């Protein structure tokens, strides 16, 4: 019997060795299909010039979902309050612009990222001592507190009415934001999304990203290999918050207004649904989820104006029951299904 | 001579329960030491005190003569104290190689880096593959944990810990749950550990303990009950009464 195992090991080791090492070494390389979403996004610009407002909203949702994916999908931080950071970014840009302090859009994003990141850092230092349901509730509480703060501080935030007609300077001092067709907004948001995405992609394939996955997969073991677990989580949470802040800032700039909806539970729940729908912890889940969610809700609300959310709900139930990996998970298992079957037999 | 790892009058209470009572214990450099005791003797609590998961109620822990009683868990790992778990604690969704990468990346300080791909740290990958080859896991390095039989999963548990290059290795029931047909792969791996490491093995498997240990400490109800060579412990009538006898009946 021992002879059997030994020959098995000897025969397979050469292949297994190089396969595992090669897979890990090539994990971060660009795959052939990765430019596709960007080409599609540019194609959309030319194909649907009248839908660019819708497209802009979609791109912002993608960025927001990617920021959530970093915390939830990669590090396993259970949160239902991510709109806190979206809102922090949106209000940063809104308040700075409305009061004439800062109206340049690109540097405005940096301010938004910084403020949202600091809110993430401060709340993360407190919240990330907890896990599971407690953490979930605390993230909702944080968002609720911020929402109430925005509601109460009417002098700065416009309270319930929010801030409208935000004066935002042209991008690069040249390209005016177009309220009717959103052409500038669309390309501007697409550019920012690309930069943020490249950043997140680099991060998740880095040793730091690998250790976040480790925390998600087995927190206790990460402690036992000497990882400063809580610090990693706080850093990840703050980065995720900063990115959500950028998404919120883009939303405020593109629409030229902010209101309490940016901090609402509705928005936080929607982005979670988007991510679950697309597939979390998969980098492209945000893209697929946002497109699926927004296209579905767009057409369903046209078809059944009174009960369109029923269709989304059903789809979510199916995903939750049968396809935990979301749409991308289904795709991946179809793609690999054949290999796996061959392996097993 | 200073012991590699030492405890002095170490105690831990959970409310009224005294899980560890006044334990003064020494693990020497390069030792093969076993800690045995009936269920509920406080073996796991003792390990948690050594690794810094728990803070003692009284007493001190020393590593090479330095007081580390108040050093946090992660820091103790950096100082060279590493453990395996009685129940596997693995990164189940990742490949075997990625599991071991995790530990080595922490040890060499690669883990905090956000801006280079994990795959570009060839030094970490090569070291991980070398370790896996030594433990005869190279052929399954690309597989995820659930794809492995339990015995080999236990080996991955050991591989992660060895990736930390510990000076003190605490093995918590390394062969627990492994079918007897596979247990030889664990025993072989333990036999092949570098001689310089001080190893403390916690187990009730008497065959394993007597085969492996040069020295045995018996823990009963949180306190040190007896200590000696396997021969002495095997011949000790008190130990036979409270523990070995009990085990023989069970």
Q: Do B111 and A207 touch (CB under 8 A)?
A: yes
pLDDT band at residue A77, thresholds of 50, 70 and 90? very high
State the average pLDDT for chain A: 89
| Contact status of A324 with chain B (Cβ, < 8 Å) | no
Q: What does the pLDDT look like over A295-320, one tens digit per residue?
A: 888 888 888 888 888 888 888 888 88
Do A117 and A238 meet the contact criterion of CB atoms below 8 Å apart? Answer: yes
Mean per-residue pLDDT, A201-229? 96
- Residue B30's domain comprises 5-249
Task: Identify the bridge partners of residue B202 per DSSP, sorted by sequence position.
Answer: B35, B172
Q: What is the ipTM of this complex?
A: 0.89
What's the CATH number where B102 sits? Answer: 3.40.50.300
Which residues on adjacent β-strands are paired with residue B63? Answer: B5, B66
Q: What is the pLDDT of residues A216-243, one digit of tens each?
A: 999 999 999 999 999 999 999 999 999 9
A231 touches chain B (CB under 8 A): no
Number of domains in chain B: 1
Smallest Cβ–Cβ distance between A206 and the set B53, B115, B125 belongs to B115
pTM of the entire predicted model = 0.90
User: What pLDDT, in 10s, does the model give residues B34-83?
Assistant: 999 888 888 989 999 999 999 999 999 999 999 999 999 999 999 999 99
What per-residue confidence (pLDDT) applies to A341? 53
- Is residue A55 over pLDDT 60? yes
Please indicate whether, in this complex, the C-beta atoms of A221 and B133 are within 8 angstroms of each other: no
Alpha helices in chain B (DSSP H): 43-51, 73-79, 96-107, 122-134, 150-162, 183-191, 206-212, 230-235, 237-239, 245-249
Residue A27 has pLDDT above 80, yes or no: yes
The low-confidence residues of chain B, meaning pLDDT below 70, are 1, 243-250
pLDDT for residue A300: 87
Mean pLDDT, chain B, whole residue set: 90
B113 contacts A27? CB cut-off 8 A: no
**What's the CA angle centered on A242, arms A238 and A248, to 5 degrees?**
140
B6 touches chain A (CB under 8 A): no
CA distance A174 to B129: 55
Q: Which residues of A touch B160 (CB under 8 A)?
A: 221, 225
Task: Looking at the complex, report in whole angstroms how far the Cα of residue B247 sits from the nearest Cα belonging to chain A.
Answer: 30
């Amino acid at each position: 019997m021992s002879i059997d195992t030994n020959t098995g090991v000897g025969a397979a080791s050469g292949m297994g060795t190089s396969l595992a090492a090669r897979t890990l070494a090539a994990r971060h390389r660009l795959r052939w299909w990765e430019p596709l979403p960007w080409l599609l996004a540019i194609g959309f610009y030319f194909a649907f010039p009248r839908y660019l407002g819708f497209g802009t909203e979609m791109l912002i949702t993608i960025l927001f979902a990617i920021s959530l994916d970093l915390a939830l999908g990669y590090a396993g931080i259970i949160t239902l309050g991510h709109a806190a950071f979206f809102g922090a970014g949106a209000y940063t840009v809104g308040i700075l612009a409305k009061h004439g302090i800062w109206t340049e859009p690109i540097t405005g994003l940096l301010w938004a990222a910084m403020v949202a990141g600091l809110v993430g850092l401060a709340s993360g230092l407190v919240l990330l001592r907890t896990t599971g349901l407690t953490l979930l509730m605390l993230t909702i509480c944080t968002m609720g507190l911020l929402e109430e703060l925005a509601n109460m501080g009417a002098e700065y935030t416009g309270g319930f009415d929010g801030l409208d007609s935000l004066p935002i300077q042209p991008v690069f001092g040249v390209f005016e934001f177009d309220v009717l067709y959103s052409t500038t907004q669309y390309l501007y948001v697409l550019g920012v999304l690309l930069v943020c995405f490249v950043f997140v992609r680099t991060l998740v394939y880095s040793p730091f990203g690998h250790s976040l996955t480790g925390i998600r997969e087995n927190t206790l073991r990460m402690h036992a290999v000497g990882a400063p677990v809580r610090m990693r989580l706080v850093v990840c949470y703050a980065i995720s918050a900063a990115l959500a802040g950028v998404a919120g800032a883009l939303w405020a700039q593109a629409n030229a207004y902010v209101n309490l909806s940016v901090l609402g539970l509705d928005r936080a729940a929607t982005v979670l649904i988007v991510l679950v729908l697309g597939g979390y912890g998969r980098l492209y889940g945000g893209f697929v989820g946002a497109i699926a969610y927004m296209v579905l809700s767009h057409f369903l609300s046209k078809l059944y104006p009174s009960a369109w959310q029923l269709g989304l709900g059903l789809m979510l139930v199916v995903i939750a029951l049968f396809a935990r990996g979301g749409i991308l998970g289904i795709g991946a298992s179809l793609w690999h299904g054949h290999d796996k079957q061959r392996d097993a037999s | 001579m200073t012991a590699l790892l030492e405890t002095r009058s170490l105690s831990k209470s959970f409310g009224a329960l005294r899980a560890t009572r006044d334990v003064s214990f020494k693990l020497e450099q390069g030792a093969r030491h076993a800690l045995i005791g009936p269920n509920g003797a406080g073996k796991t609590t003792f390990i948690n005190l050594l690794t810094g998961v728990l803070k003692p109620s009284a007493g001190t822990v020393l590593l090479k003569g330095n007081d580390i009683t108040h050093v946090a868990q992660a820091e103790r790992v950096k100082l060279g104290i590493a453990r395996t778990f009685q129940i596997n604690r693995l990164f189940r969704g990742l490949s075997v190689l990625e599991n071991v990468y995790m530990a080595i990346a922490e040890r060499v300080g690669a883990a905090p880096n956000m801006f280079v791909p994990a795959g570009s740290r060839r030094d970490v990958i090569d070291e991980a593959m070398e370790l896996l080859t030594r433990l005869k896991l190279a052929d399954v390095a690309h597989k995820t944990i659930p794809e492995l039989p339990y015995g080999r999963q236990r080996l991955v548990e050991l591989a992660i810990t060895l990736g930390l290059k510990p000076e003190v290795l605490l093995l918590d029931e390394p062969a627990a749950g492994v079918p007897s047909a596979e247990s030889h792969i664990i025993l072989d791996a333990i036999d092949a550990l570098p001689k310089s490491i001080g190893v403390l093995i916690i187990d009730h498997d008497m065959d394993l303990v007597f085969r492996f240990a040069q020295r045995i400490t018996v823990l009963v109800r949180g306190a040190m009950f007896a200590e000696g060579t396997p021969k002495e412990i095997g011949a000790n009538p008190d130990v036979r009464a409270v523990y070995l006898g009990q085990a023989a009946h069970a």
